[in-house]
Amino acid sequence: MYLLLITLLSAVAALLLLRPRIRLPPGPFALPIFGSWLQLGNAFDQHDLAALSRRFGDLLLLRMGSLNISVVSSPALAKQVLLTQGKEFGSRSRNIVFDIFTGKGQDMIFTEYGDHWRRMRRIVTVPFFTNKVVQHYRADWEAEAEAVVADVRRNPNAAVEGVVLRRRLELMVYNNVYKIMFDKRFESEEDPSYVRLKSVNAERSRLGQSLNYNFGDFIPILRPFLRGYLKVCKEVTRRRLDLYKDTFLQERRNIASTKKIEQNGVKCGVDHFLEAQRSGEINEDNVLYIVENMNVAAIETTVWALEWAIAELINHPEIQDKLRAEISAILGPGHQVTESDTTKLPYLQAVIKETLRYRMVVPCLLPHMNLHQEKLGGFDIPAESRVLVNAWWMANNPAHWVKPEEFRPERFLKEESKVETTGNDLKYVPFGVGRRSCPGIVIAMPVLGITLGRLVQNFELLPPPGQSKVDTTENNGQFATRILKHYTVVMKPINNA
Ligand code: HEM
């Protein structure tokens, strides 16, 4: 009996000793099965993660049910994750809802790092993300911004009661993106195909950004409680993909079959995607998922950023005046901001940078993932961890910035004048940096510049009647920080702009 016990104990001791030692990052107390979910709940955002990093350090591990979430909060560790070990941490962690939205990673944004991602990114880059594309479409972006200005000027209510400008800007951004993707433009907010499109995309956004489903993502045994929710996600996905296919792709196919589709040497996005499908590089589902990705990544982010920027300009009239004065001094009267002007207007650039710092729309980047166990900062990161880079905290941490709680564009002309949006300094990465960084930066920056520049040139932007400020309460979702209330803006036309 004793012999048996001793043998058993020795076997257990040998197993423990021989087991590879793994040193996990620190983090909150975790129970079996539930992990730290009972303490942290479903809805933790970049602010909560920043508070945790102050407690546990710049690398911490949250054990949320069966999911390991590593949170990185320093520029040095972010550099490791995004650049030095960019390959190892270059996959994406999808949650149960995004598994549905992306057909388990048949898309580009939420797919693992590897051949499929490389192929998809190459196919999308040619029609979307080169300087040639920017030069080809810049006149359209300028015309779309001009159309916004003209519509607002025509609306007598705009200067008195005000308008929910976001709605018109959303149409503008849809037009910018659909022009590149489908060579298509929606005439008005009432256009029936625009109404349908906006409605399914909004539904997808609401379902995807909600934090309420986290429990089922973290704790598989609770998933049955999400059955109804996931069913709706599947239905919405099917409706969206059908709409892209039957309406927009089909329309383009019809045009392609009747006339030559090259226009000034640039085909539109889907022509490239369909060509890649014909050559067998990707399949039809991949084409639809690229379209789905662009509907979200390209449109929502830009609209959110515009909405934040305008809110800050309304709430800081002295900054708005200074911006208007810069545009007027540099461009002179009668000249409307163009794409090439945007880089000649340092204060305009500073306002955009400060908006993306202070109101970072994708605050923890999109979730990265390591397929295998990796070393990071002296700790072991278990395989298939969700890796969140708290970019918002790095850009708002008083250890790296002077009075980060102030909205002060001047910082980017003074002490931070060398810091760019491209990630040359890891404390400021609103578009990420490295392999999985945002390729859309080449479109987003000029579109933000043209639009904000023209709005400020043409209007005095004011809070709604009876209010001294716009309410800037945040609405934090899975990946995005949006403004909670779509505010009204009183827009007083400026003549001789
Ligand atoms: C203000 C506007 C925008 C912001 C703040 C933004 C931000 C980001 C961020 C933070 C990421 C994730 C980076 C990472 O995980 O390391 C990302 C990824 C991405 N963005 Fe953007 N983005 C914006 C506009 C756009 C536009 C206009 C497009 C397309 C035209 C676009 C296309 C994409 C794509 C395709 C990815 C995924 C890249 C990949 O996984 O390989 N984005 N964006």
Locate 217 and state its tokens. Answer: 């993502």
CA–CA distance from 130 to each of 94, 127, 314, 439, 440 (Å)? Answer: 28, 8, 33, 9, 10
Atom of ligand 1 nearest to the CA of 448: 1
- Report pTM: 0.94
Question: Where are the chain's structural domains?
Answer: 23-493
Q: Would you say residue 19 has pLDDT above 90?
A: no
CB 56 within 8 A of CB 29: no
Q: How far is the CA of 124 from the centre of ligand 1 (A)?
A: 13
**Cβ of 180 below 6 Å from ligand 1:** no
For residue 75, count CB atoms less than 10 angstroms from its CB and return exposed for 0-12, middle for 13-18, buried for 19 or more: buried
Question: What are the two backbone dihedrals, phi and then psi, of residue 398, each rounded to the nearest 5 degrees?
Answer: -60, -15
| Minimal-distance CA residue to ligand 1 atom 20 | 438
438 is in an annotated binding site: yes
Atom of ligand 1 nearest to the CA of 294: 29
Instruction: Note the pLDDT tens digit of each residue in 161-173.
Output: 999 999 999 999 9
| Minimal-distance CA residue to ligand 1 atom 41 | 436
Which residue did the predictor score with more confidence, 262 or 431? 431
**Cβ of 437 below 6 Å from ligand 1:** yes
CB 282 within 8 A of CB 123: yes
Question: What mean pLDDT comes out for the span 423-434?
Answer: 98
Question: What mean pLDDT comes out for the span 298-319?
Answer: 98
Atom of ligand 1 nearest to the CA of 362: 10
Question: What mean pLDDT comes out for the span 37-57?
Answer: 96
What is the pLDDT at residue 12? 54
**23-493: which CATH architecture?**
Orthogonal Bundle (1.10)
Instruction: Note the pLDDT tens digit of each residue in 464-486.
Output: 999 999 999 999 999 999 999 99
